[in-house]
């Protein structure tokens, strides 16, 4: 014998549908923003440490598209070959 759906069954089914839709929206909205933002831009930062303990960090380049990132990193790395720096490196930072 089959039983008829009552109000409690209908509410439970509707609640599952609403929760699934809300979860899908929470996942889809941030993904849509990232896709709509287009290409991500980067900054290249130079980090220099000196023997006396002084640390210097400065933006070498800003607004760098991903396609130009390797060339900018190479240029940054070759910009300070000589001097009294103990450590010197360049790294990208997402803007």
Beta bridge partners of 90: 46
Judge contact between 87 and 47, C-beta under 8 A.
Answer: yes
> Does the pLDDT at position 33 exceed 60?
no
Judge contact between 80 and 48, C-beta under 8 A.
Answer: yes
Q: Give the domain ranges of the chain.
A: 1-38, 41-94
Summarised one tens digit per residue, pLDDT across range 48-81 is 888 888 888 999 999 999 999 999 999 988 876 6
- Mean pLDDT for 21-46 is 68
> Does the pLDDT at position 2 exceed 80?
no
Return the closest-CA partner of residue 61 out of 77, 45, 39: 45
SS3 (DSSP) at 79: coil
pTM of the full structure: 0.56
């Amino acid at each position: 014998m089959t039983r008829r759906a009552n109000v409690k069954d209908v509410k439970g089914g509707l609640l599952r549908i609403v929760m699934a839709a809300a979860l899908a929206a929470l996942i889809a909205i941030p993904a849509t923003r990232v896709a709509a933002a287009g290409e991500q831009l980067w900054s290249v930062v130079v980090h220099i440490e000196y023997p006396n303990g002084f640390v210097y960090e400065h933006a070498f380049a800003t607004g760098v598209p991903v396609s130009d990132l390797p060339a900018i990193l190479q240029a940054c790395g070759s910009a300070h070959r000589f001097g009294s720096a103990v450590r010197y490196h360049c790294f990208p930072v997402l803007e």
